[in-house]
Amino acid sequence: MNIGEVADRTGVPSKTIRYYEDIGLITPARTTNGYRHFRETDLHKLSFLGRARALGFTIEDCRTLMALYEDDTRESAKVKQLAQAHLDEIDQKIAQLQGMRATLSHLVECCAGDDRPDCPILQDLGGEPAE
């Protein structure tokens, strides 16, 4: 399979596939004229990486997950530990976003949104105390 076919089948863009090759996450075979030739195993790895990236895992996490996936002697506890750490990070981001939303919602509620120049949103952004 060529890179275009693999991109179509996995949903991973060609540019990303080339990047994954550059950083050593995948190693497709090369034909005599130097073109990449992807095997089914490469397709599977790219699907795996695409799914892991869609879940927000970092490239280094993906490297670790791929190594664990390919290791028949792995301990599932290591996989769970990595996934739990990522889940904890997601929970922290959600909490931050909820706090941002609450603050912005309050500011929008406080702004009259009329033709007067005073605006609690701009006051807050400028670090000024609300009147």
List, for residues 61-83, the tens digit of each pLDDT value.
Answer: 999 999 999 999 999 999 999 99
Give me the pLDDT at residue 131, please: 59
| pTM (predicted TM-score) | 0.81
Phi, psi torsion values for 56, nearest 5 degrees: 90, 10
Summarize pLDDT for 10-48 with one digit per residue, the tens.
Answer: 999 999 999 999 999 999 999 999 899 999 999 999 999
Give me the pLDDT at residue 130, please: 62
Direct distance between the N- and C-terminal alpha carbons of the chain, in angstroms, rounded to an integer = 66
Give me the pLDDT at residue 128, please: 82
